[in-house]
A = this chain, B = another copy of it.
């Protein structure tokens, strides 16, 4: 079941780099993952062998490019258990959220209705909806956190009680706290309170780390991003029911998404093309399909198992240190591998700089979750996040670096 990390690491060239005379230790996969050679090869193959535009080409090169692109759609659909006709490729998860904000929230919601979201959302799953809400005169309600960094479902029940919530935007896994939210249950709660309500889920931190079945979750929209799941930059996706997409006005318009255009207006192509305007991310789709193959080969259960084991060690090591406070759930079973913490007396920037000078790559800052920072009462955190290519050897350099920062900046 498990995979051999040492063998796997060989596929990630950046990991064998030295940084500042140290072995590079990459603990920032929650920001962007490394990319295996197989993904690079898949993109390279497209560029070197089948380079052309997709759709409507009658020469073999164009057919190959189209097959690559549409094949990638099917691969991703299989991986997340969704209908390929309900997979819209976007440039990143953020565009997917904006598609929903423009084509659903701005068009289908009306003053008096409310949006339910949480205080732990990434800005991608928050700002598009609050921006739309401010313009459309919609109320926004936030599910607060329990003391251990979980969503307070009791409070959620109260926020839903008046039946005015017609749209919910919930993150599947928090990029800061690591919390895995039970989105299926929340979706049920939302729909019990209002059967017409729509549920949008931000899966940017879930799909890389958990076996996700869009069908089983029973939500309406689900945002995915490629660069955090071993894929290339520049590609993401929105998952949705094809019939739902069919009923919606398009978002980006232009070439490839039309059926017919006259001087006066246009009719739209079938889904998902209706939501894919312009030349798509062809090489990126090929790369994403290769990433899906790598993850499928590892097995998402094994991926999760590996991460739970490593996160357990990481949490134990941090807990054993003086003056470290970990944010988010302590139980590795209910959380992912992104671990945020505070080092008492040392600003996160300074911790990050010390770690960087020792080849350890972590993220410091607000992680695009300003409301969460306010709710935690901090300005920033240090975040270490693990993925398939990390192993126990990556932890001592982190711990040593934190200790060095504590010593260096002691006043």
Contacts and interface: CB of A to CB of B under 8 A. Distances in A.
Interface of A: 13-14, 17, 19-20, 24, 26, 28, 31-32, 34-35, 40, 43-44, 47-53, 56-62, 91-95, 97-98, 101-102, 119, 122-128, 130-131, 134, 140, 142, 225, 227, 232-236, 250, 252-256, 258, 260-266, 277-284, 349, 352-353, 355-356, 360-365, 368, 370-371, 374
A126 B364 contact: no
Nearest to A24: B61
Contact of A91 (B130, B278, B356, B374): B278
B52 A91 contact: no
Given A101-B253, A102-B102, A134-B264, 4 more contacts: A58-B352, A94-B253, A142-B263, A254-B368
A31 to B, nearest CB: 4
Assembly of this chain: how many copies? 2
A49 B263 contact: no
A98 B253 contact: yes
Q: Is chain A's interface secondary structure helix, strand, loop, or mixed overall?
A: mixed
A400 to B, nearest CB: 15
B57 A28 contact: yes
Nearest to A276: B94
B278 A124 contact: yes
Nearest to A123: B255
Contacts of A60: 19-20, 356
